[in-house]
Amino acid sequence: MAIPDTSRIYPRTGDPQTVYLKNVVQNPRVLVGEHTIYNDFVHDPRDFERNNVLYHYPINRDRLVIGKYCSIACGARFLFNSANHSLRSLSSYTFPLFYEMWGLDPHPAEAWDNKGDIVIGNDVWIGYEAVVLAGVTIGDGAVVGARAVVTHDVPPYTIAGGVPAKSIRRRFVDKDVETLLRLHWWDWPPELVRRALPAIQSGDLPALEALAPAQG
């Protein structure tokens, strides 16, 4: 039974546009789960951190957390807190950032509003050129449409799209969503996921549930 080698950079032979994202990020504040892929047909996908994780300055100590089995399309971007010029001030100009020029005490982080980490759940699909803003959490199994701008949290197994992004519909009925979240199949051993693929791909939730490991 074939089990994917997730130590590789490229999961598919002859496809240099798709990478296992975990194997190309180096910033310790960008955390990516196993099997998550990123595709880029414009830039080298290995440059994900430089091209797609923006305004991610060390001073804020904010994180990008991406779960397992996610699919991230070309040009999806994650905008962090340093893009949020402070709205508490009477001016949106970043005076604290240029403290030397203005003779201020060095508190550059006061130049922007800190909204927190970006957290992407497991089995999430983020569409072409979507933008996710700081402080947003996208739940397990959610789908974000192409060129959506995500300014608020997206619930699990919800399709969201638009500018700003809004929930369009849930992918499954509530009972099935509850079952999927309880099973959290993405945490199963790869051998078991491989056995479960017929059930996963056919949408056979009872068959998937029957394969679930016993809860300790």
Contact between 150 and 126 under an 8 Å Cβ cutoff? The reply is no
Q: Is the pLDDT of residue 172 over 90?
A: yes
In the predicted model, what is the mean pLDDT of residues 91-99? 92
Distance CA 96, CA 85 (A): 11
Q: In whole angstroms, what separates CA 20 from the centre of its chain?
A: 13
Contact between 132 and 115 under an 8 Å Cβ cutoff? The reply is no
**Is 21 exposed, middle or buried, given 0-12, 13-18 or 19+ CB atoms closer than 10 A?**
buried
pTM: 0.94
- Residues with a catalytic annotation lie at 85
CATH, domain range 18-86+112-171: 2.160.10.10
Domain spans in the chain, listed from the N-terminal domain onward? 18-86+112-171, 173-216
Distance CA 170, CA 181 (A): 14
**Lowest-pLDDT choice from 8-17, 85-94, 170-179:** 85-94
Token representation of residue 214: 């016993």
Q: Quick: pLDDT tens for 10-44.
A: 999 999 999 999 999 999 999 999 999 999 999 99
CA distances from 208 to 81, 98, 142, 159, 174 (A): 40, 56, 19, 22, 17
